[in-house]
Amino acid sequence: MNPNPASSISESAKGRAPRSNKLSLRALVQNLIVRARLWLDKLLPFPYARVVMIFVVGFAAGVVWHSYGWLAPRAASASYDRIRADLVATRQSLDKLGNDISRLEAQGANMPRRRADR
């Protein structure tokens, strides 16, 4: 050991790079996060802020999903065509049923109606 500690660098510090007074990137990011959370906590309590953030993220995801059509599954288009064909067939069936009812009413209009006995 050196008898004069002020004259040389300590034994344990030899071979190391000199330390900087700057904060590391990790400490800087943590500091920013803490400051942002404290500012947000003044604005809105944390449980409410969490709900608001979930809503904002969900809304943004919905806007993105809607604005980019290629995100929609391709099976939805085939499903839409099948549903449309089913609706057309149902409409034709209802029209036919309505015509049959009108025809039967026209045939039965000249027949006397029976009264139900009580």
Say yes or no: 67 and 33 in one domain: yes
Say yes or no: 34 and 61 in one domain: yes
CA 35/CA 38 separation, integer angstroms:
5
CA 85/CA 69 separation, integer angstroms:
23
90 pLDDT more than 90: yes
φ, ψ of residue 36 to 5 degrees: the values are -65, -40
Per-residue pLDDT, averaged over 63-84, amounts to 73
Residue 90 lies in a domain: yes
77 pLDDT more than 80: no
Residue type for position 39: W
Say yes or no: 95 and 65 in one domain: no
* DSSP 3-state of 117: coil
Residue 18 lies in a domain: no
pLDDT value for 59:
94
Say yes or no: 59 and 94 in one domain: no
Confidence bin at 64 (pLDDT 50/70/90)? confident
The residue range of the domain holding 41 is 23-72
Say yes or no: 68 and 78 in one domain: no
What's the domain count of the chain? 2
Residue type for position 35: R
89 pLDDT more than 90: yes
pLDDT value for 25:
86
pLDDT value for 72:
58
Say yes or no: 31 and 63 in one domain: yes
Q: Which of 51, 21, 46, 22 is nearest to 34 (CA)?
A: 46
Confidence bin at 12 (pLDDT 50/70/90)? low
Say yes or no: 36 and 68 in one domain: yes
118 pLDDT more than 90: no
CA 64/CA 60 separation, integer angstroms:
6
Say yes or no: 45 and 82 in one domain: no
Say yes or no: 55 and 94 in one domain: no
Dihedral angle computed from the Cα positions of residues 101, 103, 108 and 113, in that order, rounded to the nearest 10 degrees: 30
Confidence bin at 2 (pLDDT 50/70/90)? low
Say yes or no: 67 and 27 in one domain: yes
User: pLDDT for 23-56, tens place per residue?
Assistant: 788 888 899 989 988 887 888 887 887 888 899 9
